[in-house]
Structure 1
Amino acid sequence: MSDKSAEFVGDIPSHYDHGLGPNIFVDFADRLADLCSSQKSEHVLELAAGTGIVSRRLRDRLHPRTSLVATDLNAPMLEIAKGKFSADENVEFVTADAMDLPFEDDTFDLLVCQFGVMFFPDKTESYREAARVLKPGGRYVFNVWSEMSENPFSETAHKTVAQFFPDDPPGFYKVPFHYGDPEAVRADLASAGWKDITHETIRLKKSIKNIEKFATALVYGNPLIDEIKERGGVDPDLIVTEILSALRTRFEPSDLTMPLSATMFECRV
């Protein structure tokens, strides 16, 4: 994956983990980990593990002898993830591209991916690659964001930053929220040979934790910050201030409670 929208490097991982994690990732991570641990698995592979938000929950729920391999394209993300585990917790961290996994065929009985599929440049091919490393009968459990309108924090951030660059608005937020139609996902899975596909759309009401840190992470906690710096001429902190104001305007009437929506999939090879 060479697209810059998938490059979470530099200071991005820390902002991602501390500012975005508590607000938009942890609740879905709990649900994903619960589904993964509902059946016994011996060898588990996590794709796009990021800073280990799901990894930590998986390790807590899986049997201690179950091996867990956490992968991500971005080594700096995995460095933060490693800090959440002790050396004896049976977790291996591997920098790997989900489009070209460095594992043998039929290696794992469970694959997991939280909010990573949307960044894969060829969805159908990524599903074929996932199927390749799974044992017959193995499961793939993953989730994708619903569209921006159902996750208005993203819509707010996207529209606010665009006001600073009307001739060339940064497009990062279009990437994670472009794959929200469950039927489109199911069609891609079927094309890649997956079967027994089920999905559930989960809608939450989430109280924003530390709105200042959240606003900062919406700029600094993903590759949007690189798009801003590439364009130049605008202090990113000014954009943070405007996003903070926009978040307050939008969510203070609801006591800083925002809707979140994502769809969770479970399928088998």
Structure 2
Amino acid sequence: MSQLEFDDNAARTLEAMYLTPDVVGQRAKVIEMLAPAPGEHVLDIGAGPGLLAYDLARMVGESGRLVGLDASAAMLKVARTRLAAMPQAECMEGDAADLTFPDASFDIAVSTQVHEYVADMEKAVKELHRVLKPGGRALVLDTDWRSIVWHSSDKARMERVLQCWDDHLADPHLPATLGARMRRAGFRVLRVEIVPMLSPRWQPVSYAAGIMKTIRGYAAANGDRHGLSKEEVQAWYDDQLRLAERGEFFFSLNRYAFLAMR
């Protein structure tokens, strides 16, 4: 697995993607499923630029607590700036598979687009269970990249680009096994919801447009193991722009949100 590197530029790019309508809708769905209440203690694992953490901190209020964890210093800088005016919120460096909190510390734990990067999922899910209070809620949201429907003029090249992209994840198909993993760790799974990233036509301010640029950068740097040259990766990207110009762009990808109770 070749991980994505999150420097300051990458952090800003990710923040812009998280502000697109698709991902704003995802945050609304996560908040609806979790239903945070004033005074609750919340752990946001993989807080990224802090957009979800900001909303959750506002909802639990100053009588509550919000802790945002991230492994990236660049992401933590963005999140800390966003949350600076909230005394109930703090951000710290952390590892999803090694949570440094006492047992039963939180009412809510949430993790969006994080656990698919975690190599030791059994430990990560046990840690999630451990830090929750009895009756506490966990929400884990991840993508299964087999769910993608992405139109291309060259299907074989598209497949190779997506196979290369899969390499950046520990498990690009985590949702298929996530419910069973959570139940084995002692959770009761309450709800599973699909959260679509859908662009039936080209929209430059969209998840599809943002991830297209990210995949181009990753595949250009790592495509050799799949026989992809930088020129082929650029040709893949240019093909998508031509399809967009002709009104033939189509992108759909499913994320899956699992709500569980300890």
Work out whether the TM-score is over 0.5. Answer: yes
Q: 1:229 to 1:61 in 2, by over 3 A?
A: farther
1:217 is the counterpart of 2:211: no
* Residues 5-38 of structure 1: per-residue CA shift (max 9 Å, x gap): 2643353212222246526533212211222235
Aligned position for 1:76: 74
**In the TM superposition, what is the alpha-carbon distance from 1:250 to its structure 2 partner?**
6.8
**Alpha-carbon distance in 1 for matches of 2:63, 2:155:** 42
The root-mean-square deviation of aligned C-alpha atoms, in Å, is 3.7
Is the 2:187–2:261 Cα contact (8 Å) retained in structure 1? yes
Aligned position for 1:198: 191
Q: What aligned pairs does 1:145-160 form with structure 2 within 5 A after superposition?
A: 145-150=143-148, 152=150, 159-160=157-158
Identity of matched residues, % = 19
Secondary structure in 2 aligned to 1:58? helix
**Alpha-carbon distance in 2 for matches of 1:60, 1:228:** 42
Aligned position for 2:222: 227
Aligned position for 1:178: 173
**Alpha-carbon distance in 2 for matches of 1:50, 1:174:** 16
Counterpart amino acid of residue 214 in structure 2 = A
Q: What aligned pairs does 1:16-95 form with structure 2 within 5 A after superposition?
A: 16-19=14-17, 21-22=19-20, 25-39=23-37, 42-95=40-93
Aligned position for 1:260: 253
**Alpha-carbon distance in 1 for matches of 2:239, 2:172:** 23
**Alpha-carbon distance in 2 for matches of 1:89, 1:251:** 48
* Residues 134-183 of structure 1: per-residue CA shift (max 9 Å, x gap): 11111101211133343538xx99955946xxxx94643665632232xx
**In the TM superposition, what is the alpha-carbon distance from 1:265 to its structure 2 partner?**
0.9
**Alpha-carbon distance in 2 for matches of 1:251, 1:120:** 38
Secondary structure in 2 aligned to 1:18? helix
How many pairs align?
A: 255
Q: 1:57 to 1:197 in 2, by over 3 A?
A: same
Q: 1:55 to 1:262 in 2, by over 3 A?
A: same
Task: Provide the TM-score with structure 1 as the length reference.
Answer: 0.76
Gaps of 5+ in 2: none
Q: 1:41 to 1:162 in 2, by over 3 A?
A: farther
